[in-house]
């Protein structure tokens, strides 16, 4: 993740609320995304409440990166993609609208799940859904592809840089989550596709092959594919 902007506004659970949006701004954004136009981040982020917009450049995937990652992950409209730590839903919303495939985001902060659901409603993004919980509790075997924007790094940031204090964050938690992620990746179905932006913080299991590395946004987008067992 890039360094925090000077103005980093921390979320607190009292400020993360579903945005009150008219239908039309969301429709205009959705139309552009369906035509695979990588609109400016500030235009997409206008769908969000101010506190969520203010942390976007550090915590949420830029539109152009989300669009490219979705293109790399989706092989056809039947592809089911899981965003591991979906935050305000930006990756899933852009991906679902641009590709027509089905995107699920799992997020441990309930307030952000509400924000993502409200943005999905405003955009009419029916192929994006968001669930509240820790990522390892969702049935990974039902997904074909996974996206990680370095979700566990926040555990080792100083407390002043945390998004909020609504979840437990610690280096022990970081280690536990990385262990879960490595185990789940090792058990994913053959041919599973993984995209990482700023990496995922752990060691990709040996059964995966790195197919592409592309400089994009403030880092690299990587595409990994699980080789079929011999």
Which residues are near ligand SAM by CB under 6 A?
1, 59-61, 83, 85-87, 90-91, 106-109, 112, 134-135, 149-152, 177
Buried b (16+ CB within 10 A) or exposed e, 34-62: beeebeebeebbebbbebbbbbbbebbbb
> Least distance to ligand SAM from the beta carbon of 122, Å?
16
Residue 30 or 128 having the CB closest to ligand SAM: 128
In the chain, what are the helix, strand and coil shares in percent, each to the nearest 5?
A: 40, 20, 40
Tell me which residue has its CB nearest to ligand SAM. Answer: 85
Residue 83 or 222 having the CB closest to ligand SAM: 83
> Least distance to ligand SAM from the beta carbon of 207, Å?
23
> Least distance to ligand SAM from the beta carbon of 205, Å?
19
Residue 57 or 61 having the CB closest to ligand SAM: 61
Backbone angles phi and psi of 157, in degrees to 5:
-80, 155
> Least distance to ligand SAM from the beta carbon of 76, Å?
23
Residue 70 or 192 having the CB closest to ligand SAM: 70
Q: Are 13 and 39 contacting, i.e. CB atoms less than 8 angstroms apart?
A: no
Residue 86 or 99 having the CB closest to ligand SAM: 86
CA trace torsion 214, 210, 129, 101 (10° rounding): 80
Residue 177 or 222 having the CB closest to ligand SAM: 177
> Least distance to ligand SAM from the beta carbon of 191, Å?
22
> Least distance to ligand SAM from the beta carbon of 229, Å?
28
* Both structure tokens of 64: 């152009």
Cα separations in angstroms, 29 against 22, 84, 128? 12, 24, 15
How far apart CA 59 and CA 62 sit, in angstroms, is: 9
* Both structure tokens of 195: 């995209």
């Amino acid at each position: 993740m890039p360094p925090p902007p000077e103005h980093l506004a921390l979320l607190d659970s009292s400020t993360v609320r579903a945005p009150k949006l008219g239908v039309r701004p969301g429709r205009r954004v959705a139309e552009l995304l369906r035509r695979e136009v990588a609109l400016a981040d500030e235009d997409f982020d206008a769908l969000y409440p101010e506190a969520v917009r203010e942390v976007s450049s550090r915590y949420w995937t830029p539109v152009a990166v989300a669009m490219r990652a979705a293109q790399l992950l989706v092989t056809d409209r039947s592809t089911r993609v899981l965003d591991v730590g979906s935050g305000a839903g930006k990756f899933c919303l852009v991906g679902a609208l641009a590709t027509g495939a089905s995107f699920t985001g799992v997020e441990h902060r309930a307030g952000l799940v509400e924000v993502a659901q409200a943005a999905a409603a405003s955009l009419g993004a029916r192929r994006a859904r968001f669930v509240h919980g820790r990522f390892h509790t969702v049935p990974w075997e039902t997904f074909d592809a996974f996206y990680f924007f370095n979700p566990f790094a926040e555990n080792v940031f100083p407390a002043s840089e945390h998004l909020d204090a609504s979840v437990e964050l610690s280096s022990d938690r970081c280690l536990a989550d990385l262990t879960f992620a490595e185990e789940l990746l090792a058990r994913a179905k053959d041919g599973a596709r993984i995209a990482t932006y700023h990496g995922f913080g752990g060691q990709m299991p040996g059964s995966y092959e790195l197919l592409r590395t592309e400089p994009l946004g403030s880092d690299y987008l990587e595409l990994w594919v699980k080789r079929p067992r011999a």
